[in-house]
Each structure stands twice: as structure tokens, then as C-alpha cells.
Structure 1
Amino acid sequence: MGNTKIQLLIWERESINGLIEKAILDADGRGVRVLSLGLLNQAKQLNGGGELFTKKYPKLRVRLVDGSGLATAVVLKSIPLDTKQVFLCGSSSKVAHATATALCERGVQVIMNQKKEYDMLKLRVPESSTGYLKFSSDEIPRIWIGDIIDDKQQRRAPSGTIFIPTSQFPLKKTRKDCTYLGSPAMKIPETMQNVHTCENWLPRRVMSAWRIAAIIHAQEGWNMHECGDDMMDIEKVWSAAIRHGFIPLSKA
């Protein structure tokens, strides 16, 4: 589902970006403080994760938020604490790379089997942690993370594997002997009213981390854009989300 939707966005890049730009300028003119970049209109292939607009309009007062910091935090919190190895399955998104980098910095080995993606990620991981990033076609841990993990890839996973998506959309479930976690999301506070369904693949009163991040950004009064390569501090945004009453799904 994700690949097809992204391809459609690329085909209509100019017209879609025109609509997004109009919405941003309208929000800026109305004095809106924070604008959330939606699940698909922040695609890197579409507008550089929103960076197209901050570069074109450097004096924007409205802050653009893609929510990648909180999404990364939710993924990291979903990985069992005793995990020593994870398999990163052919992913190049901002959240996937940030998750892998954070794991390496924590001493968790991240294994990849696609050389191009491995070489790209190795340039991003701090030199002191690159020893935890490994290219291998033989080692396959039971914790898998990734944007899109297709049927063929899933069949290679050992029985008992936990699949953890780093994308906005859930993975297609093809294995009955494995566990599939949902896309990064949290339960909203009880104090939030008239919010029932955020995405049709999420339970009621559960919201995508990407959307929650913009709410937190506004509540905290943060002044930075979170788009392009810029990302909020993972622990800072996670702590703020918890403080404002958002609940991890593991505790909901």
C-alpha cells in the first residue's frame, strides 16, 4: 500500500505541493503556530520531508512538524528492553534511519542485508557506534523493523519474529507464527473530547505519533521546524507526550 501511494504522489508532485504550499501560507497568514505535515504529504520524494517549503519561505512564522521524533521514540519504546540484535529491512525513511542510529548508540546491533542502504546509513551513524551496524546476509534476528516488509521478506523471518513498522501504515500480515505491531501511535488523553478515530487501521481514541507530535509541539511552544533532516530530540518529545497524558499502547 505504502509504495503505491508514494508513487502516485510523485506523479502528481507539482499539483500536490501547490496545495500543501497554499495551506501552509494560509495557516501562516491566520497566525497558526504549528502545522502538522500529514502522513503522505511529508514524503521525502515529494518535497524533501517538508524542507521544500521552509527553504522557499525562510520567514515562516508557523512551525512545520513532520512528527518524526515522536514516531522514532514510539518505535524504540516498542522494542523489547533485552534486545541485542535487530534486523533493519531495506528502509531509507527518516524514522527508520533515526531508529537504527539510536539503537547503535545504545549498543544494540543493527543488521542489514542491502548494501546500498547499509552504506547510506553508515554515513549517518556516529563513528563511535558504527561497530554496531553490520552488513550480513546470514544473520536474521527475531526483531524486525522497517518501512515496508513485503511477503517475500517476511517468509525469510524465523518463527516467533516480531515485526515493528517504522512507517505510517501497518504491515500486511502474512505469518501466523509471528507478531505484528501496529504503526507508531499512542492513546490520546481522556481529557481530549470529540476525537474518536484518527486512521481507519487504528483503534478508537488512538492517534498516529506523527499527528500527536504537532499537538505536543504547540503545547510546549517549541520554536523549531521539524522537517527535512531536522528532528526533535527523541527523549524530549517522548517525555513531553507522556507529561501531556498520551499513553503508550503497551500500557493502554
Structure 2
Amino acid sequence: MPKTAPFSAWPWENLGIYKYMLLGPLIGKVVYSKLQRNNDVARDWCFHLLLITVLRCYLYTWYTNICNMLFLTRNRRIIPRGVDFDQIDREWNWDNFIILQALIASLSIYMFPQTFANLPVWETKGLLAIVVIHVLVSEPLYYWVHRFLHGNYLFTPYHSLHHSSTVPQPVTAGSTTFLEELLVTTVIGLPILGCSLSGYGSKTVIYGYVLVFDFLRCFGHSNVEIMPHWIFDYFPLFKFILYTPTYYSLHHSDMNSNYCLFMPLYDAIWNTLNTNSWVLHKKISLDAGKSTRVPDFVFLAHVVDITSSLHSPFVTRSFSSMPYNARLFLLPQWPFAFLVMLVMWARSKTFLFSFYNLRGRLHQTWVVPRFGFQYFLPFASKGINKHIEEAILRADKLGVKVISLAALNKNEALNGGGTLFVKKHPNLKVRVVHGNTLTAAVILNEIDVSVKEVFLTGATSKLGRAIALYLCQRGVRVLMLTLSTERFKNIQGEAPANCRKNLVQVTKYQAAKNCKTWVVGKWITPGQQRWAPPGTHFHQFVVPPILAFRRDCIYGDLAAMKLPDDVEGLGSCEYTMGRGIVHACHAGGVVHSLEGWTHHEVGALDVDRIDVVWKAALKHGFRPVSSIPK
């Protein structure tokens, strides 16, 4: 969009979050008048404008959230692609139009104080008047304004931004330029002003018209078809009175048709009606409820804690598009999230969380409705395994090729790293993968080849064992922190005879006081970190990551990989990971799927496959996080 185009940029474009201070005078007027006990018209309407502004923001936000509840809407989506980071960033300031209209409305009140001074709460004639003005004035006006914006000279500077959103969502309605929104403000403002000036206005009519107007815009931009086709079969004329999400979506794919605001009647009158509108609508409506495209790969995740459960596209789309971090605005939502947790614990099933496309293959994330702390409750293990087993069997029934288990879903004490399910169901067609082979590969390739000694915590875990065996074969002396001599001896016995001397059992952190390479697989306290010498590099595969306590040491990231550049439709971050970055176990499952490997990857890691998996990941365009510039 050219910067030189007049009225294309928003006047407060550089204010960032401080743009909401533009509403400060309205708040100040309400507070001042309240303190002075003045009941003037301006104070009264400033309060109403603020309330309407808040209601409008909530309407667009929650309609968008509902559209992103894929477990409810997946079979009713018109455009099957996901909303990516680029679209989210373009629509970041979607609420600019609400601020603009609040400011213009306040100006109108000061210009016509007597008109708004004595408006009743309800006026029946006002309802009829505003409908008539909308149908006869706003609808045709919007049609022609919209059509002119698609002209050769106006489209690129003023309307192309809106059409750059390939997957419409309710907030896409606000992805507009300043001039475009001034014109839309005229369309929504004329019925309100006309009705009020005619003497038929009322507060209920104003509230109702604005919110219904916004609801219908959300409805059309939702990309979720909920209008049943039988309505148009029984009442054919109704198809010209109210558009559908399918009808609007065709305008994004065929920009020379379907220009109407809400009523296709005007497209029919001026011959711009897309002839496929009702055929496509009926097809999508009839297909709703049927199984959609089967994913090739499923990542079976779980919720970490209560606040991180709010880091999802169907709670706050913008927040989920950034790496998770505890924020103050999450605190008021905590009680609600806690109640949802109890409901999920009691009766919820695994649900679809997000999806993306890679190399023409659909990859989905399913979430087990269990929170992190629940995995450590002895009485909860049976129920958790039941949920995981149901998800695996569901994936097998659907025809999913690979299902990868995240973090605690593959806990050794819980199900032996997935071994329990493979043994119980030996005829599974879906491949069950824990992805830890690639996790080990990422950690090992972060350790410089010049390193000759490593201190390893969590040494007898699946990952710790594999890392120890791999390093000892590379000639590295591994100090394995473990109190279990038996488990240490078992691992040492797996090493080649000429390498066993490289594995050394230690029982205290003091043993590593001269070792500058620590691989942390078990959470360590700041006190335990004190034993590391200055300049120590902490590599880690522990969740949650250890605290960066030492300023004189280097703290590596959790084992993670950047997805290939050709991934499509990815618009949410995986927990604390950056955009397009996933945990290494997730990436390991994707590589398993892309390679078409037919074996299960469960239980103990095959050390001989670490290099094989690593080379396959690099071949497919995955990159370790450590190689990405900060």
C-alpha cells in the first residue's frame, strides 16, 4: 500500500497501544460530570458511547474466538486454510474503526445536542424508520462505494489491504484504510442520524442498530457457514434479503461480484451477483457434519497450566500468535479458566486445537484435556492413559499416518514412552512416535565437537541414556548424575566395551565444579547451579526450563526446531516457542511422517538412529533454534 496515498494511513498509526488514550476525553467527561453531579446531555452520551465501544470490541473478539474453535467449526469452514501470522499482523489494529466511530459520534452529539437530549429509551416507530433508511439509503450507498473502491485507481491504495486477508474472520471487517472506514462510518451513521433527526430516535434503536450492524459484519466475515440451506428452499426471496458467509467469501475469490453490504438484492439489481453463490452455499451446508480432510500427522499435546490454557487462538488470537508469557491481563480470566479445567477434567474429550499445511499434507494438533499437574497425581494416570489411547484409536480409525506424543503424554512412568499402547494394540496402522530421537539429536549437535567432558542430569531417563551412550562413543567423558548404581550399570553395559570408561557415575553436583558443559534433563535449583564454574553452557531438555540464575553462564533454549519455510496456515505459537518454532519431539513426528517411516518410535531411543533422524530433518528444511539469529 503506497504511503503517499492521502487518507490511506490512520492518523494515530504511530501511537501503538496508546491510541486508546484518544477516548480519554470521553472518560474524563463522564468522571468530571459525575464528581460535579452534572446530568448534562454530553455526560450521558459519553457514557453510552464508551459502553457501546466496549460492547462492540467484545462482539468482534468473541465472534472471532468462536470461529477459531476448530473442534466446533472444522466441518463448516468455507476456506479450509488456516489464518497465518502475516494476516494476524495485518489485522492487529482491527479496532481502529471502533475508535474512529466513537470520536465521530461524540462530535455529532455536540453538533446536535437537542436532537439527542430527549431521546426516549424506546420508540416503536424508530425501529421501522431505521430499517427503512438502512434498506433505502445505507445498502445502495455501501454497494456503490464498495464498487468504486474496486476501481483501477482506488483499489490498490484504499481497499487492497482488506483483500490481503485470504481467510476472512470477524476482525477482518476492521482491516481497512482510514478513508475506507470514513465511508463505512457514513453508511452506519446516516440511519442513526436520520432516525434521530426525524424525531423517531431512541436509545434502544441506536444500541440495537449498531450491534446488529456489527453482528452481521461478523457473520459475513466469519468463514463459518451456519445458515441452513433449507431456509432458501422454503423462502426463496430470503436469499436476496440476507447474505451468508459463503456469499461474502466469494467476493474475496471473485472480486467483481457480491458487493452488497448485507442484502444480495442490490447485487441482483445491478447484475453483479455471483451465480455460484447459492450452489456453493447449499453444498457447504449439506457437507456440514461430514468428516473433513484426514490429517497425515497429529501432534497430541496437553495443557501445561491454567494460565497457559488461555494461550490459544480461541481465547485471544493475537496473544496466541506470540510466544507464551504470563501477562497481567490473564489474571481476571483465571477463575473462568479454572472452572473450564474442572469441566474438562470431568467429561471433556480430546479436541482439535490448531492445524497447518506442509508439503501439501495436513498437520493437526489435538489436545488431551489434562493439565500438567494432573499427570503427577497417582489416581489420575488411568484416566489420562484412557484419553491418550482414545486419541490414538481415533487417529487410527480416521487414517492418520503418524501421531506424535508431547511431553507428559509419553512420560515413562505413565505409559513407557508410548509402549503401553503399541503393545495393547499390535495391529495399529497409525505410527505412534514420541519424537525424542530428534530431541536427542538437537541437544547433541549443540555440543561443540571440542568438548571432552559433560555433566548430565536426568542421566537415566530415555533422553539421558541416549545422550550418554552417544557422547561416550564420541570420546566424551560423561559425568552421569544418578543415585541408582543399578540403572547406571545397565546403561554402561549397553556401551561398546572400549567406551565404557567414558561413563562415570556421580552422586553430587560438586562433581561438576570443573565441568563447563552441563546437559540438564532434571530441573535444578539456583543453589545447585552455583556449582557450575563461570562460563558454563547449560544445554537442557527439561520442562519447564531452568531459571537463568547465573549471569556468568550461558543458558541454551529447550530443544526445538524451526519448521520449513513452506509451512502454510500456522498462526499460533507452541507454548513459549517463537513463531514457526516447535518442540523437537513435535518436529520429530513431522519428520517421521514426511519420510514415510513405518516403524513405531516408542520406549527406549535407538542411538544408531540419532544421526539418521537428524539428517532427515535437515533435508526437509528444519533448522535448530540455535542456528537462527536472535
User: In structure 1, which of residues 171, 178, 191 is the aligned counterpart of residue 566 of structure 2?
Assistant: 191
Deviation at 1:139, TM superposition (A): 4.7
Distance in 1 of aligned mates of 2:489 and 2:590: 35
Greater RCO (CA < 8 Å, at least 6 residues apart):
1
User: In structure 2, which of residues 590, 603, 621 is the aligned counterpart of residue 228 of structure 1?
Assistant: 603
**Does the 8 Å CA contact 2:512/2:532 hold for their aligned counterparts?**
no
RMSD: 2.1
Deviation at 1:247, TM superposition (A): 1.0
What is the DSSP-based 3-state SS (H/G/I as helix, E as strand, rest coil) of the residue aligned with 1:182? strand
Q: Quick check: which has more Rg, 1 or 2? A: 2
Deviation at 1:113, TM superposition (A): 4.2
User: In structure 1, which of residues 120, 123, 128 is the aligned counterpart of residue 498 of structure 2?
Assistant: 128
User: In structure 2, which of residues 414, 437, 449 is the aligned counterpart of residue 69 of structure 1?
Assistant: 437
2:453 aligned with 1:79: no
User: In structure 2, which of residues 376, 381, 391 is the aligned counterpart of residue 8 of structure 1?
Assistant: 376
Distance in 2 of aligned mates of 1:244 and 1:18: 34
TM-score (structure 2 length as normaliser): 0.38
2:407 aligned with 1:39: yes
What is the DSSP-based 3-state SS (H/G/I as helix, E as strand, rest coil) of the residue aligned with 2:500? helix
What is the DSSP-based 3-state SS (H/G/I as helix, E as strand, rest coil) of the residue aligned with 1:111? strand
Deviation at 1:89, TM superposition (A): 2.0
Distance in 1 of aligned mates of 2:441 and 2:563: 16
2:456 aligned with 1:88: yes
1:197/1:167 Cα in 2 relative to 1: closer, same or farther (>3 Å)? Answer: farther
What is the DSSP-based 3-state SS (H/G/I as helix, E as strand, rest coil) of the residue aligned with 1:40? helix
What is the DSSP-based 3-state SS (H/G/I as helix, E as strand, rest coil) of the residue aligned with 1:59? coil
2:420 aligned with 1:52: yes
What is the DSSP-based 3-state SS (H/G/I as helix, E as strand, rest coil) of the residue aligned with 1:112? strand
% identical aligned pairs: 37
Distance in 2 of aligned mates of 1:29 and 1:90: 37
After the TM superposition, which of the residue ranges 12-21 and 164-173 deviates more from structure 2? 164-173
Extract unaligned runs of 5+ from structure 1.
none
Distance in 1 of aligned mates of 2:543 and 2:574: 10
1:212/1:110 Cα in 2 relative to 1: closer, same or farther (>3 Å)? Answer: same
What is the DSSP-based 3-state SS (H/G/I as helix, E as strand, rest coil) of the residue aligned with 1:110? strand
Deviation at 1:173, TM superposition (A): 1.8
The answer for the alignment partner of 1:148 in structure 2 is: 522
**Does the 8 Å CA contact 2:437/2:605 hold for their aligned counterparts?**
no
**Does the 8 Å CA contact 1:50/1:227 hold for their aligned counterparts?**
yes
2:572 aligned with 1:202: no
Residues 23-47 of structure 1, C-alpha deviations (whole Å, 9 max, x = no match)? 1111111111100112210000110
Distance in 2 of aligned mates of 1:67 and 1:168: 15
Q: Which amino acid aligns with 1:188?
A: L
Residues 119-153 of structure 1, C-alpha deviations (whole Å, 9 max, x = no match)? 34323333231111123454531100121231132
The answer for the alignment partner of 1:178 in structure 2 is: 553
Aligned residues: 251
Deviation at 1:7, TM superposition (A): 5.4
Higher normalized helix content (fraction of residues): 2
Deviation at 1:196, TM superposition (A): 4.0
Residues 173-203 of structure 1, C-alpha deviations (whole Å, 9 max, x = no match)? 2212111111110111111022244432212
1:101/1:6 Cα in 2 relative to 1: closer, same or farther (>3 Å)? Answer: farther
What is the DSSP-based 3-state SS (H/G/I as helix, E as strand, rest coil) of the residue aligned with 2:594? helix
TM-score (structure 1 length as normaliser): 0.91
1:189/1:79 Cα in 2 relative to 1: closer, same or farther (>3 Å)? Answer: same
**Does the 8 Å CA contact 1:95/1:167 hold for their aligned counterparts?**
no
Distance in 2 of aligned mates of 1:197 and 1:98: 32
What is the DSSP-based 3-state SS (H/G/I as helix, E as strand, rest coil) of the residue aligned with 1:86? strand
